[in-house]
Amino acid sequence: MRMADGPTVECEIQVNAPVALVWELVTDINLPARLSPELQRVAWLDGADRPAPGARFEGHNRHEKLGEWRTVSQVVELEPERVFAWAVMDADGRYGDPTLDPTSCMASWRFELHPLEGGTLLRQTAVLGPGRNGVSMAIDRWPDREEEFVAFRQRELRAGMEATLSGIKALAEKNN
C-alpha cells in the first residue's frame, strides 16, 4: 500500500458495558494518553472543555525514531453515543507546511460505538494522510521503500489501537 491509497487501520472490541459508559471514556481526550505508547498528553484549545464539532485540542507525541512533536486536532464528526472523529494536523510544520486545515491532515481518527446485547461494539479507525506525516519523511529519503514504511506504520498503529481499546474495555467493565 502507498500513502496515496489512504492507508487505514481498523480495530474493534466487544465491551461488556453500556454504550453511554463507553462513550464517556472514548470522548475523554486525556484517556488515550494513559493507554497509548505514542500519545503523551493532550489539552483542549480555544476554551473548549469537551468534544463538539470544530473543537480543537493539542496532542504531544513521542516516538523512538521520530522524537517528540505537537499536533493540533479538530473534531470533524460527533454523533452522541455513536461517532467521535477528529483530524490531526501538523500545526507546527514538522513534516511540511504548517496547517490547521482538516482536509490536509496528517491522519484522521474515529471511534464508532454500536449497541450489542449486554454491551457495546467499539471500533477505532485511523487513516494516514492525505497530508504529510512521519512516514512521508522516510519515503522522501527512501522512495523505493514506501510500501515497507506504510506497512510498518500500520503495524505500529494497530498495536497502539489494540492497547487503547483493551484499556477502554477494562475501565468500562470495571466501572459497569
The residues pairing with 67 across neighbouring beta strands, listed in sequence order, are 63
Burial of 44 by CB count in 10 Å (0-12 exposed, 13-18 middle, 19+ buried)? middle
Contacts of 1 (CB under 8 A, 6+ apart): 7, 147, 150, 151, 154
Q: Is 0.75 topped by the overall pTM?
A: yes
pLDDT at residue 159, as a whole number: 93
pLDDT at residue 77, as a whole number: 98
Which grid coordinates belong to 118? 449486554
The residues pairing with 128 across neighbouring beta strands, listed in sequence order, are 107
pLDDT at residue 32, as a whole number: 87
- Domain spanning 3-175, CATH class: alpha beta
pLDDT at residue 141, as a whole number: 95
The domain segmentation of the chain, as residue ranges, is 3-175
Backbone angles phi, psi at 102, to 5 degrees: -60, -25
pLDDT at residue 86, as a whole number: 97
DSSP annotation of 129: -
Burial of 115 by CB count in 10 Å (0-12 exposed, 13-18 middle, 19+ buried)? middle
pLDDT at residue 85, as a whole number: 98
pLDDT tens, per residue, the chain with 176 residues: 999 999 999 999 999 999 999 999 999 999 988 888 888 999 999 999 999 999 999 999 998 888 888 999 999 999 999 999 999 999 999 999 999 999 999 999 999 999 999 999 999 999 999 999 999 999 999 999 999 999 999 999 999 999 999 999 999 999 88
Q: Cell 469537551 sits at which residue?
A: 50
